[in-house]
Amino acid sequence: MRPLIVWHIFRKDLVETFRDRRTLFTTLVLPLVVYPLLFTAVGSFTSNKRQQVEATPARVAVWGPVPERAVEAVLKEKATVVDRRASVPLHLEAEAQKAVGDKTVDVVLVTPDGAVGPSVPVKVYADSTQFESDAMQDRVLKVLRKHTAVLLEERMVALGQPAISARPLQVDEEDLSNPARRAASVVGSILPYMVLVLLASAAFYSALDMTAGEKERGTLQTLLTAPVHAVEVVAGKYLAVVTMTLVAALANIVSLGLAIGRILSADATGQGFHMGPRVGLALFLTLLPAALLLSSLFIAVGVLARTYKEGQSYLMPLLLLVVFAAVGSTLPGVELTPVLALVPLTNVALLMRELLSGRATLFLGTEVIISSFAYAAMGVVLAARVFETEQVLLSGEKPWKDIFSRKAKGGLTPINTLFFVALLVVVVFYGTVPLMLAVTKEQVGRAIVMSELGFFLLPALLWALLLRVPLKDAFQLRLPTRRGLLGTLLLACGGWAVGLAVGSVLSRFQGAQDYSEQLGELLGKNGPLSMTMAVLLVGLLPAVCEEACFRGVVLTGLARSGSRGLAVVGSALAFGLFHINPYHVAAATTLGLVLGYAAYESRSLLPGVLMHFVNNGLQMVLLRMPQVRGFFESFVVVGVGLLVTVLALWLLRGSGKKAAHDAGLSPHGPAGPVRA
């Protein structure tokens, strides 16, 4: 893939899109109009309506022998009797419904014919679906309850008791929320839904125009006649759709911020919101993976259509799915939980709601963003596959078999590695939930074995077998050269210092300290594992399983791009992401960079396995032997360890080239399928 060609395609698509008024309207104008309307126009309308109703007398119908004093009490509180009947009509409810439905009456007071005695029934009929009738019923009920209290007091006095004895309990209701917070709660539950739907609309129109639209206009074929690869076309178009979707996201956030800001200065409605620059940034980061996912899905589905109209009919169900996912976040009682954080798009809407109400947590936020990125990666792979199917691009036929069950031809590639990581994220996150529920603290050893084997080693093994890549190549199962071996040994001796140095920086954060304490309780000397088991299960097992997965399959696949940076940074990021806790993610990613560099340069899994084992094993030892902790964490020892690591990496640099050459491998790394 040539970045410059991708850039040209991206720029052209963006220019064209910005010249399309329809897309521009959906992307930029609509968000700028919707929020001010929602916050001001709708708010103002509701407020005006309420004031109007409060100032208007209630139109009351009085049917049957309703006590006269009760009627008088009602009439004193802004009410007029518009219909008075001495007896109750035969079809009471039907007539009441008609009177209220015709809007000639707001409420109907009814006392059944012949009702007398110490307790006279008075029914107040109203239609709660009508704003005026509902408000007037509240008013009349309040008056009647007050009047009942007065009557009770009169009876107590008549019985020679003080009037106050009519109120044995003085009950008053107090709502802790103020009107501003109540309004904020309602609007805050709707906003994420609206933002997501507007975002999807922006992706919808951009993707449709760049795929089905181009096919209909014949320009997609024109593009294919140029010397460009399908993957460059999809990359350029994808970036353009993502850009337009992100522009829509920005427009949404800016408009939202401005609308809330204006209301905060003029009204109390915005007081329940938290919408500073930090929340704005967090919202944008939350919307980013949603934009990536929506763009990839819309492009993949859009290109299946032959015409713009056909594309609309294909994409509409997808848009409806987005609406359903977003609606889930508006349901009462639905909160962001570890499980809901895995549900695509609903998780984004829920996280936005948490962010706006200031209740978001780092853990769930990270889970939402990681899982959303994973879904987005799968969407990108799907889009790339569709674009590589020439029948789809040229004729509009849909050879599903070719798209979904095409046999892998190129072994491990950067694209299918991206898909593998995305798949792994989903497997790990969904797999962790039942594991956490099923396993007690005492069974932590079993949980580690199950997760290391089931989440990392087995999927990596299956992936290599599925792509028919020799295990020796997929997992870089070869010994380093003599120089590389020396580097490997030094890395094992000093590499742990990287982990300690990063840990020392992170320990300044309270969250990292808390996480460290939790790990200490679980894996330390008070935990269920013996020292030997802790070193074996937390040191050796991950060193083998995680290295096989990340420095094996993932790094090897990414290395096929020919870019060392992509291979090392990509595999480190993937490795880091699977550590879930944000602080652990940062530490693991840093370690992953060193492990990845060592594996890439030596073309061997061994340096990573040894360093990983010593690093994790030492952590277990330090948890149980705090007396030596000070020594290992001292500035001098860590410094020496880091120097040894640098020396080790220098020795490892380029050491694998000879091994690769001897094995007849390409400089991009061994990843081809088995030649049957």
Partner 1 sequence: MIEAQGLTKRYAGVEAATDVSFRVAKGEVVGLLGPNGAGKTTVLRMLAGILTPSSGEATVDGHAASTDAFALKRSLGFLTGDTALYQRLSPREVLRYFGRLNSMEEGLLKSRIETLVQSFQMQDFADRPCGKLSAGQKQRANVARAFLHDPPALILDEPTTALDVITGRFLLNAIREERGRGKAILFSTHVLGDAETLCDRVVLLHQGRVLDDGTVPEVIARSGARTLTDAFLSRIGEAA
Smallest distance from partner 1 to CB 303, Å = 15
Which lies closer to partner 1 via its Cβ, residue 191 or residue 305? 305
What is the smallest separation between the CB atom of 7 and partner 1, expressed in angstroms?
A: 9
Q: How far apart are the first and last CA of the chain?
A: 28
Judged by CB, which is closer to partner 1: 9, or 350?
Answer: 9
CB nearer partner 1, residue 44 or residue 395: 395
Considering the complex, what minimum distance in angstroms separates the CB of residue 219 from partner 1?
Answer: 5
At closest approach, how far in Å is the CB of 281 from partner 1? 33
Q: What are phi and psi of 102, to 5 degrees?
A: -75, -5
Least distance CB 231 / partner 1 (angstroms): 12
CB–CB of 369/285 below 8 Å? yes
CB of 648 to partner 1, least distance (A): 42
Q: Quick one: 72 or 397, whose CB is closer to partner 1?
A: 397
CB nearer to partner 1: give 12 or 657.
12
Rounded Cα gap, residues 427 and 342, in angstroms: 11
| C-alpha–C-alpha distance, residues 407 and 572, integer Å | 28
- What are the E-state strand segments in 64-130? 79-85, 107-110, 123-125
Q: Is 154 helix (H, G, I), strand (E, B) or coil?
A: helix
Query: Which CB sits closer to partner 1, 19 or 407?
Result: 19
Contacts of 192 (CB under 8 A, 6+ apart): 326, 329, 330, 348, 349, 350, 352, 353, 356
Q: Which CB atom, from 304 or from 355, has the smaller least distance to partner 1?
A: 304
- Rank residues 308 and 632 by Cβ distance to partner 1 and give the closer one: 308
Short-list 650, 639, 622, 651, CA closest to 498: 639
C-beta of 214 vs 452, nearer to partner 1: 214
Q: CB-wise, 388 or 452, nearer to partner 1?
A: 388
236 versus 270: smaller Cβ distance to partner 1 = 236
* Lookup result for tokens 């935990």: 527
Q: 91 φ, ψ to 5°?
A: -100, 75
One-letter amino acid for residue 50 of the chain: R
Spatial CA neighbour of 464 closest among 388, 408, 401: 408
Give the C-alpha separation, 479 to 652, whole Å. Answer: 12
**What residues are paired with 124 via a beta bridge?**
109
Give 13-45 as a DSSP string: HHHHHHT-HHHHIIIIIHHHHHHHIIIIIIHHH
Q: Which tokens sit at 384?
A: 């790339």
Give the interface with partner 1 as residue ranges (CB under 8 A): 5, 8-9, 12, 15-16, 19-20, 217-219, 221-229, 390-391, 394-395, 397
State in angstroms the smallest separation of the CB of 509 from partner 1. Answer: 48
CB of 31 to partner 1, least distance (A): 23
Q: Provide the minimum distance between the beta carbon of 221 and partner 1 in the complex, in angstroms, as a whole number.
A: 5
Query: In sequence order, what are the beta bridge partners of 83?
Result: 61
Spatial separation of the C-alpha atoms in residues 559 and 571, rounded to whole Å: 10
The DSSP code sequence of 432-484 is: HHHHHHH--GGGHHHHHHHHIIIIIIHHHHHHHHHTT--HHHHTT-S---HHH
On whether the CB atoms of residues 125 and 88 are closer than 8 A, the answer is no
Name the minimum Å distance from CB 393 to partner 1. 8
State how far the Cα of 341 lies from the Cα of 332, in Å rounded to an integer. 17
Cβ proximity to partner 1: between 229 and 525 the closer is 229
CB 549 within 8 A of CB 412: no
Provide CB contacts within 8 A for 145, sequence distance 6+: none
Q: Name which of 52 and 395 has its Cβ closer to partner 1.
A: 395
Query: Least CB distance from residue 452 to partner 1, whole Å?
Result: 43
Among the listed residues 366, 592, 614, the one whose alpha carbon sits nearest the alpha carbon of residue 496:
614
- The CB-of-9 to partner 1 minimum distance in angstroms stands at 8
Angle between helices 362-387 and 230-266 (to 10 degrees): 140
* DSSP code at position 267: -
Least distance between partner 1 and beta carbon 468 (Å)? 22
Taking residue 331's Cβ as centre, other Cβ atoms within 10 Å add up to: 9
